[in-house]
Chains A and B, each alone.
Chain A
């Protein structure tokens, strides 16, 4: 079962891989050297051939994304999405803390592939220490000629900078991220033009935005080739993936494994992964993609489904960023819905009417439900509000905010019914996970 080769969490196999010398001794920056020996278009073709899919959530093929960049434009950017703010996601942090050079190298390969003018790493503001660490690594890489002026004597200049956000989940959405990087409110842009197009990217220049984990895969692909990479994972989901496991498991943490090589059951219960549920309780539900993806009941079918992009779809949910939150049998799913709604209400940027007003309204009704003050019709009401928020907003946050309601009400109706009408228990009576979330925002 155990993975001999880890691509991303390499510190587990090679201690101190975060240090330049250790990294260099272990194929470090070989991928970049190889890339710079190739034509940019060839690099893109190789990444395309690997069928690497974006790890930021949407799973878009990375090579294809790079190929959208018009080569004729003189100014172009690579922006690394290190905003990692989805509830239950903490993989990018680990990569940047423990294997930073691999991200830097991957970003530089992407930059070479599109002949970028500069690379910006946009980190969520809370990753203050991570950014400081990265800054040091970038400086080292610059000294070695991997970053900055005349990269590896190719005549190509490409500096790399970190930029700290300041507490806004929405800045993980790529166009909001670009706005934020330009010193504006982090509100998503109208598309088209898309970031890859002139007029749509950073400072209106064509821009590739990739997740940290996505780019950290790239050096390996360059060194070992697309064909080798595809040996991991499935046809549609090649490569390895870091699974962020949290919630009711004995050993929460990041676990890397080839896509499709693990089922949810293995991830939650196997000793080398989650090690089971505290108190050896049953699993009631799983959120495979953080707060924003559809929740699923922990049926045998679900637990035995391999973790891939395509298989999760069969269950009516998504793999997304693979932020797997486990909930045991005592969890009140209505409370989960209320909790996640608070998150989205707090994080809605406010630009689109349905998202701005809908999250506020949902939160109000859910407060009522959690206080056992609601009517039975309130359950239909939240389901309907959520439905009306779907598919009508500028960015996916509107849909993300609708998901927790739609899928909790659909899959766990009894958890809501317990709070309303005749059967309502007394307010706040549903034990620790039923306690109303802190008020305010």
Chain B
């Protein structure tokens, strides 16, 4: 091992990596759980709780010779600290000696637990954390058997303090470890939690508006070592020991966060297994142990009552055979004039099956939805190298985020980029408008709307570009905000060229990422679905169009027009929507929670999710529904399982050889070890038992790649240009079901941002209702928000806040104030 040190734990020698934290090292290498409350391996140690005290010393060395000094017995002489030391604030160094099992240490642990329990309410029987509570566990392990504190001396505090709508604080249970405060400050960079008062009166407060305003707030409930922080969603929902933990993947974005669906058989759900909560699952390369609040609380759509539960033909529920016969007749009649548009929530198996179906009738028209982000092919070439871990970027490295509002699009990447910045990476943020990431940028640059590619191409000549070019490792995250599909391709190509020309491809921690929408944007690419084909389909509609998990009407104001030119629509979907209403056949499919399969994340990691929840009605996994349709069309029997479909993929798609389900399920011990069934880290669901996934090698890792030509489209000219942007919480069909539940209060009312200068000309003030009208499509009505932030000549239109679709790409619009 390079760069290792020798340390001694309870008289045994260990060779361990230098520079690591003693608590983490002891746990990982010596299987020694030094108990902690305030320490958390993902945050800086603060040495507050005093639980981790150990006897500590170092092997004495002769100053002059560097030789180890021996005692009379011939053993190395140890210089002990006179007092116990906190392990959590210690970095391992050569010759470090600790003892953890001595009576002195045991007494110190017992004392700390006793002190903590003096003011703890001991209401475990009604506490959400009971059963997976570090305080409970450590009390069992080290605590005193009885209490010497008079019960009436206990401090009485408020037990139901809402920190906003999503998280509750029980002040009596809080042990003042500051983990939640430090998480918001260090990890998130939104210091909306803090201590108030001091001494025994120390309490957690927030005065942010709305309360505890953060996209990551739920993580605080995982790392809280007691039941002081609980979620509105899970509070009193179930006892941890009743739950079965099923590994899954965050279905919302390109990060592919590893999650755990904790399910229980529910009477209210027909006795079927239902998700009670969603927890993070450790994958150091992907999301470490963090998830966004959307991943945690957005699961309610899977059990929404208005889910499509039966096949529908001409407005009537029918049986599957009936529906499939109708669909197959339509397809047969169309010959090869069939096309498909698939959304990024479709699994790799679903997409492969769809591709086979079309191949069976002689069509290759596979469109990816939404057609906003181009260049997935470039990601396959120069995407981040295998083994990339954004969490390890630091001093000497650089990250460029361009054309994206990263916090809204891929929150976990935003979190990890912020950490990289904290660790010393040079962070450059460029966009046509300011975003929240700017506060962490070493350099924040703005370019004109539609000029991202030119900006990228010119960047290399600037000092900032030079610094990026000279970084040890460089990752570029490119979005498509404010771009047409062509514009997005141009930016991706320019970014790829930058990386290739500066030697930042084909190796770990280098390369390109894109905020492709949905969980499986890369899967769409590998299975042959492209956004360019989608545009072709919309311009040259086929006789039969299959729309799979794509809410085209809600996403595209022109959809009504181009759909009207399709003869037959067949939909596969979770909900009735604008397209299914127009469909000849509408087929119900299962959500990610009800079946198994794989998604390919933005870093090209193929990851498995497993069946967790009971099915809704007659919905089928999409791959199965598609293959049954294929069978009716005479294309051969449906495969027996998703695993079998993947096996076929591994045999047919280059680069996917290693992706058999058994491979994807492999796990290995990760450092730091936060997920074990240990006594203290909490969140039993951190353990990764579902698989770490397999990263598909980029082309650059296998051979040379070369720069391509950047063809920038002409910037659109318009008096006012609508600039569609993505918001994490919105009224997308799938999220809307959760609106009624926890996330509802966080979804903004429809609004548009207008630059103060434009607003003045148009006579619009903040709070006015305005209509944003584009061509013949119905106007989008929203509240105006006048600011100095929206680029001049644009109106920033968040997607999916109003029932009317925002344009897919920047488009000329007219704005008018709605009187009255």
Contacts and interface: CB of A to CB of B under 8 A. Distances in A.
B53 interface: yes
Interface residues of B, number: 35
A222 interface: no
Contacts, number: 90
Contacts of A292: none
B47 interface: yes
B199 A392 contact: no
Contacts of B665: none
B456 interface: no
A269 interface: no
B467 to A, nearest CB: 22
Nearest to A377: B148
A350 interface: yes
Select the residue from B50, B83, B115, B197 with max chain A CB neighbours within 10 A: B115
Interface residues of A, number: 29
A317 B167 CA distance: 50
Given A356-B200, A360-B199, A388-B115, 19 more contacts: A190-B86, A351-B46, A351-B176, A352-B48, A353-B48, A354-B112, A354-B115, A356-B115, A357-B118, A358-B115, A359-B199, A360-B118, A360-B200, A361-B153, A365-B153, A391-B84, A392-B83, A393-B50, A394-B50
Interface in A179-193: 185, 190
A348 B202 CA distance: 10
A356 B153 contact: no
B199 A353 contact: no
A347 B150 contact: no
Select the residue from A353, A354, A381 with max chain B CB neighbours within 10 A: A353
A388 B199 contact: no
A345 interface: yes
Nearest to B150: A364
Interface of B: 37, 45-51, 53, 83-84, 86, 89, 108, 111-112, 114-116, 118-119, 148-150, 153, 155, 175-176, 195, 197-202
A340 to B, nearest CB: 15
A347 B89 CA distance: 24
A35 to B, nearest CB: 33
Select the residue from B53, B119, B201 with max chain A CB neighbours within 10 A: B201
Contact of B199 (A345, A364, A365): A345
Contacts of A185: 195, 198
B100 to A, nearest CB: 15
A350 B201 contact: yes
Nearest to B120: A357
A151 interface: no
B200 A348 contact: yes
Interface in A124-177: 168, 170
Interface string A266-293: 0000000000000000000000000000
Contact of B48 (A347, A351, A358): A351
Contacts of A381: 148
Contacts of B197: 350
16 contacts: A170-B198, A190-B45, A190-B46, A190-B89, A350-B197, A351-B46, A352-B50, A353-B49, A353-B176, A356-B115, A357-B115, A357-B116, A360-B200, A364-B149, A364-B153, A365-B153
A259 interface: no
Select the residue from B50, B84, B116, B199 with max chain A CB neighbours within 10 A: B199
B51 A391 contact: no
B765 to A, nearest CB: 37
B763 to A, nearest CB: 44
A346 interface: yes
Contacts of A190: 45-47, 86, 89
B333 to A, nearest CB: 73
A346 B202 CA distance: 11
Given A190-B45, A392-B108, A353 B51 contact: yes
Select the residue from A170, A350, A365 with max chain B CB neighbours within 10 A: A350
A356 B115 CA distance: 9
A83 B198 CA distance: 18
A353 B153 contact: no
B51 A357 contact: no
